[in-house]
Structure 1
Amino acid sequence: MGMSGHASGEAVVGVTVGMTALAAISVISRLATRVGIVRNPGIDDAFITVALLFSVATTITMILQVKHGMGKHEDTLSKQDQLAQLKPFWASVWVYNLAISCTKFSILFQYLRIFPGKKFRSICYILIGVVFVYSCWTFFSAVFACTPVQYFWKPDIPGGHCLDRFAVWFANAGINIVTDIATGVLPLPVFNSLELAKRQKYALMTVFALGGFTCIVSILRLHSLYVISKATDVSWNNPLAAIWSSVEINTGILCSCLPTLKACVSRYFPRLFTTRFDSRHGIAFNELGRGLSGRGDVVQKSVIRSRVAGSDDYDLHSVGSPPKDHELDDGQIQVVTVLEQEVQEWRESRAETDSTKGLVR
């Protein structure tokens, strides 16, 4: 692969199919975790499923382009192949944008399941609104890039014209990178305030490092966009942009799914993780993938106290009624069992800590 924007058609098919397969495995595992294990699916799972469908559609459009000569010089292709290649190219632009948008929505709605803080949620909703507006623009600017629409793949239509590809594609890519960075940075202040074990911190660092890789891919893709936006030989210069687009989409899907997969891995590979219990807050550390925000959590605690003075008499007290200390006669034994049950509403600071720990437990 050179920096001209060229790559072989075989490379396009290999990379796009391989990356889409990895994304599909991650989404299927995520759904198995959320639906089959923790039984707590949400709107974020729906969005990532739709993102995968658009990723598959993007891969199909790229395979069709390769079938009609992508990766070869246009002057070596028949007129029929040149025109047949442009129609899936047109479709690939807007299905790519939809895949990217659905992935962002999935990540942001996953944040809403995890972090209950009012300030955080307000910022998250604002970012969702920004992504929604951006998504609408990228979709319509791709579908109606030319007037009439058919002019994109039939450039011989009289009076047809198109938007400036360079301006539109680079504006869209720039906004995409900014929203990627904003999405990745948004939860960092919450993580910084947590008291996490090293293992948990390393897991979070891994997830966010891969999220950063998605941003890097988006930036690297800019060069291929520049080449294709200025190219007169689209067939020859489009493959590298196609490859980077597929890597970007599917890396985003993979990163979105990572925080939800530990429960699935723990079930089939139990030796990889130990199961611990947070006695202070009643949260099992193997309960991964559940959104904890906005819910009451039942915390059960058992406290056994005993005082020995010499006999076998037992003084049992009812639940919720802690006993008062009594003077014991010589020769008596008092065993006091206190069972307490409380319904604890998650407050912002405590819930943020416990819910976020659920990402990596």
Structure 2
Amino acid sequence: MANIPTPAQLAYFAAHPHDNLVPDIIACCSVCGIASVVFILLRLWARHLIHGRVVVNMSDWLLIIAFIFFAVFDICFALTTKYGSGRHIIYITDARMLQILNLVDENTYCYAMAFIKLSILKVYGDIFPSKKFHHCLWAMAIFMGAWAITFSASAIFQCTPIEYNWDLTIPGGFCINYGANVMAAGILNILTDFIILVMPIPLVLKLHTSTQKKLQIIFAFALGSSACIISFIRLGYGSKVGSTADGSWDNIPAGLASVAELMIGILAASIPTYRPIYRRFMNGSAMAQTQAGYNSDRQNYGNDSSLNKSTLRRVQIFSQHDGEPREKGDGIHITNQVEMSVYDSKEEEWDQKRRRQSDEERLT
């Protein structure tokens, strides 16, 4: 429950009418909101580069849901400035609306964070087919769902009745120690960040791909640790939530950290899907990439050490009645001529190459 300001504190608030964090709130919400939109659009563009059209899978939908919760959180946090947020408590213009928006923010934060992590877990599941690993993913997903529901409910019912959040004159009203609730939620959030970060590393090391690509994958996953840093910062500010006498001012740093944390979370969930964009820019253009891949495949199949240089048999099949292929002239030709070549292979090397190709396709 929030403390009641002392006479000395009230005097301090009155002596500092120009203290104002409203520009900081608006700037943070604007920048993080726009950046999150860009991250989502880049993710959809990456899907388009793979499939030639925007194909949205389950991990994308989970992140889109997270973005919707984040957008509500972001907008409501910015709207709190209209009712006194970002200024000292004596300058609040509508305590009821301010607290309602705060309750919306506390709830949408929980669900946005949960869906971000569910999206990351789904990406892991798409990459790694191990059944044991999938059981771990399901366990973590269930835990995140329980985390979101538990702390969302505690935010709604932090005061009984709910109206006691903004009307302390209600007889018999009381509030829980919401600051301890925020600290518990923050600690569990950081713990799940760390677990999700390290979960795929043992499986990445077992992939049939080059060491360089393994390191690139681990680095992409490790970028999610940047959200852990913001979570630690938010945890430090969260200790004041629910216990300060000047919540409209003292709780703002925690709110700003929450906006940044969710924005970084959306980025962290999207980075593993950006590989097609990275390859496009590294190869100059999609056309150059396609042509290079085609030429590389021809060279590999023609010169691969796993194939014998000698062709065992070559068969030509013609659809013409005379059994001879027609001589090609100028223009466009339609032919039913088929040439089939059968090669001898070294089974072990060929199987190893096939597994490597399969792993790389799943990573793409």
Please report how far the alpha carbon of residue 212 of structure 1 lies from its aligned counterpart in structure 2 after TM superposition.
0.8
3-state secondary structure, aligned to 1:230 = coil
- Percent identity over the alignment? 25
Specify the alignment match of 2:30 in structure 1: 17
Over 3 Å counting, the alpha-carbon distance change for 1:124 and 1:85 in structure 2 is: same
Question: Counterparts of 1:353 and 1:150 in 2: how far apart (Å)?
Answer: 60
Over 3 Å counting, the alpha-carbon distance change for 1:147 and 1:35 in structure 2 is: farther
Which runs of no fewer than 5 residues in structure 1 stay unpaired?
A: 1-5, 283-300, 308-313, 319-334, 341-346
Q: Are 2:69 and 1:65 equivalent residues in the alignment? A: no
Within the candidate set 213, 222, 227, 2:226 is matched to 213
Query: Which stretch shows the higher mean deviation, 150-159 or 32-41?
Result: 32-41
Please report how far the alpha carbon of residue 261 of structure 1 lies from its aligned counterpart in structure 2 after TM superposition.
2.1
Alpha carbons 2:209, 2:356 under 8 Å: kept: no
What amino acid does structure 2 have at the position aligned with 1:149? Answer: I
What amino acid does structure 2 have at the position aligned with 1:42? Answer: N
Specify the alignment match of 2:249 in structure 1: 236
Specify the alignment match of 1:116 in structure 2: 129
Which runs of no fewer than 5 residues in structure 2 stay unpaired?
A: 1-18, 301-305, 318-338, 345-350
Question: Counterparts of 2:311 and 2:147 in 1: how far apart (Å)?
Answer: 65
Alpha carbons 2:207, 2:359 under 8 Å: kept: no
Post-superposition CA distance 1:194-218 (Å, at most 9, x none): 3544653453244233211111111
What amino acid does structure 1 have at the position aligned with 2:237? Answer: S
3-state secondary structure, aligned to 1:337 = strand
Q: Are 2:38 and 1:33 equivalent residues in the alignment? A: no
What amino acid does structure 2 have at the position aligned with 1:46? Answer: W
Over 3 Å counting, the alpha-carbon distance change for 1:7 and 1:258 in structure 2 is: farther
Alpha carbons 1:196, 1:357 under 8 Å: kept: no
Specify the alignment match of 2:315 in structure 1: 316
Question: Counterparts of 2:356 and 2:245 in 1: how far apart (Å)?
Answer: 53
Please report how far the alpha carbon of residue 353 of structure 1 lies from its aligned counterpart in structure 2 after TM superposition.
8.3
Task: Give the number of aligned pairs.
Answer: 304
Q: Are 2:310 and 1:305 equivalent residues in the alignment? A: yes
Please report how far the alpha carbon of residue 125 of structure 1 lies from its aligned counterpart in structure 2 after TM superposition.
1.2
Please report how far the alpha carbon of residue 62 of structure 1 lies from its aligned counterpart in structure 2 after TM superposition.
1.0
What amino acid does structure 2 have at the position aligned with 1:8? Answer: L
What amino acid does structure 1 have at the position aligned with 2:36? Answer: A
Question: Counterparts of 1:352 and 1:229 in 2: how far apart (Å)?
Answer: 54
| TM-score normalized by the length of structure 1 | 0.74
Within the candidate set 51, 58, 73, 1:43 is matched to 58
Q: Are 2:352 and 1:337 equivalent residues in the alignment? A: no
Query: Which stretch shows the higher mean deviation, 163-172 or 144-153?
Result: 144-153
Structure 1 vs Structure 2 CA RMSD: 3.4
Please report how far the alpha carbon of residue 98 of structure 1 lies from its aligned counterpart in structure 2 after TM superposition.
0.8
Alpha carbons 1:52, 1:253 under 8 Å: kept: yes
Which structure's residues are more often helix, by fraction? 2
| TM-score normalized by the length of structure 2 | 0.73
Question: Counterparts of 2:109 and 2:214 in 1: how far apart (Å)?
Answer: 33
Mapping of 1:177-188 within 5 angstroms? 177-188=190-201
Alpha carbons 2:227, 2:265 under 8 Å: kept: yes
Specify the alignment match of 1:131 in structure 2: 144
